[in-house]
A and B are shown apart, each in its own frame.
Chain A
Amino acid sequence: MEFNATLIGEMIAFAILIWFCVHFIWPHISKAIEERQIKIAEGLNAAERAHAELKDADNKVAAEIKQARQQAAEIIDRAQQQANQILEKARTDAVVEINRQKAAAQDDIASMAQRAREELRERVGALAVQGASKIVQREIDPAAHKVLLDQLAAEI
């Protein structure tokens, strides 16, 4: 074992290697690592925030669904009430209409019966005059006997 200039050469080589590592290797890699650490930290924070926001949104959605359900129930209630009212109104209208129609029909019937009676009466008067004229074989002047005929018609 002996020492020689190799020692000096290796010292220079070692110094150059250290210099190279200090300036060209270490800073770049450790910068990348540190930046990634920051990125990861940000990512974790963002994930946590997103989680919280999701929870908020879920709560909001649940509240809104609840409200919507309530509103829907109210609307249905109101609609049912309205339907009942309409039905009730229709029913009363119908009853009124029926009564009205019934009354009109009865009036009609009454007036028709009255007319029929009048006609019948006149026809009976005419028949009576005809019959009487046949019996007496001559013309009876309806105008002369009008009072008698009317009396007869009223009796029928």
Chain B
Amino acid sequence: MASEPQGGLTEYITHHLHHFKPVQISEKDFWSVHIDSLTVSLALGVVFCLWFWSKARKATSGVPSKGQAFVEIVLEFVDGQVKDVFHGDRSFLAPLALTVFVWVFLMNAMDLLPVDLLPLITHKVGIGHFRSVPTADLNLTFAMSLTVFLLVIFYSFKAKGFGGYMHELFTAPFGSHPLLWIPNFLLNLVELLSKPVSLSMRLFGNMYAGELVFMLIAGLFSAGSWLLFGMGVIGYTVWGIFHILIIGIQAFIFMVLTIVYISMAHDHH
């Protein structure tokens, strides 16, 4: 129990679900930020950039170092995924997919830190609330999916032109009869809007649920019985191992769907 030892499990969990938000004027205030999500995600973004950049800077076409080989494996894996789906110039989409995959993976991996570790550290410097998994914050998952959404819109216009895209929005999939324009458009609108929502909600839901399960299991540690403590240790281990799979899968799904959505924007109907 990091900060409020007098509370029960419910309080422990609700406490952990609070973001670190130093400037909050009211509950409805938009212009306040989750410093914890921002800090962790930016730190991991910098880790990703420095890590891959340091390998890219020294990249040799001769015999690669082990670090370079690892980075190349990740790169080839992502490039292969993009190549399977998208048949065009990959010079933007492939690095985008790489960024998505590695960044989301790193942020998801924060779930594997003990739930109380970062809050305990930040508590020492006077920050009461700290959530260490940025992907369990809707703001981050929606930020990513909305960026992807904007890219989808951008590439739709770029690939089909304004007229072509409008034509497609109003005439596909039912037909080009004027009476069908409105149903066509409504359907396309739903389809378009469902993409960022499903993309972000899927990642958020998985990570949020994972974090919550970790908290529930962590609650067993202080339940006051050695039996429950032992169950907590076992449960935490099992869920942690299972979660390794989830963080990879979710990062992979987010990447693949990003590729699919953007390559769909290039397709003509």
Using a CB–CB cutoff of 8 Å, the interface residues on chain A facing chain B are 1-11, 13-18, 20-22, 24-33, 35-36, 38-39
**Out of A5, A16, A21, A35, which one reaches B32, CB within 8 Å?**
A5
- Show 22 A/B contacts (Cβ-Cβ < 8 Å), sorted by A: A2-B27, A2-B28, A5-B31, A7-B146, A9-B143, A11-B144, A13-B45, A17-B45, A17-B99, A18-B147, A22-B91, A24-B56, A25-B56, A25-B95, A26-B75, A28-B57, A29-B52, A30-B79, A30-B94, A32-B59, A33-B75, A39-B62
Chain A's interface: helix, strand, loop or mixed, by majority?
A: helix
B53 within 8 A of A: yes
Q: Give the one of B53, B59, B76 with max A CB within 10 A.
A: B59
User: Which residue in chain A gives the minimum CB-CB distance to B146?
Assistant: A11
Pair A24/B33 contact, Cβ less than 8 Å? no
User: Which residue in chain A gives the minimum CB-CB distance to B138?
Assistant: A1
Pair B138/A25 contact, Cβ less than 8 Å? no
Determine the interface band of chain B, counting residues with CB < 8 A from chain A: 35 or more
| Chain A min CB distance to B62 (Å) | 7
The answer for the CA separation of A26 and B29 in the assembled complex, in Å, is 39
| Chain B min CB distance to A26 (Å) | 4
Query: Residues of A contacting B31 with CB < 8 Å?
Result: 4-5
Give a binary string over B47-81; 1 marks a CB under 8 Å from any A CB, 0 the rest.
Answer: 01100110111011110100010011001100100
| Chain B min CB distance to A74 (Å) | 55
Query: Residues of A contacting B37 with CB < 8 Å?
Result: 6, 10
The answer for the CA separation of A4 and B99 in the assembled complex, in Å, is 24
Using a CB–CB cutoff of 8 Å, the interface residues on chain B facing chain A are 21, 27-34, 37-38, 41-42, 45, 48-49, 52-53, 55-57, 59-62, 64, 68, 71-72, 75-76, 79, 91-92, 94-96, 98-99, 103, 134, 137-140, 142-144, 146-147
Pair B143/A11 contact, Cβ less than 8 Å? yes
Query: Residues of A contacting B99 with CB < 8 Å?
Result: 14, 17-18, 21
Pair A17/B48 contact, Cβ less than 8 Å? yes
Pair B140/A25 contact, Cβ less than 8 Å? no
Pair B49/A20 contact, Cβ less than 8 Å? yes
Also in contact, A10 and B49, with CB within 8 A (given A4-B33, A25-B56, A29-B59): no
| Chain B min CB distance to A104 (Å) | 94
Q: A10-B139, A21-B98 are in contact. List 8 more A-B contacts (CB 8 A).
A: A4-B21, A4-B31, A5-B30, A6-B139, A6-B143, A10-B38, A14-B103, A14-B143
Pair A29/B55 contact, Cβ less than 8 Å? yes
Pair A17/B139 contact, Cβ less than 8 Å? no
Query: Residues of A contacting B33 with CB < 8 Å?
Result: 4-6, 9
The answer for the CA separation of A3 and B95 in the assembled complex, in Å, is 28
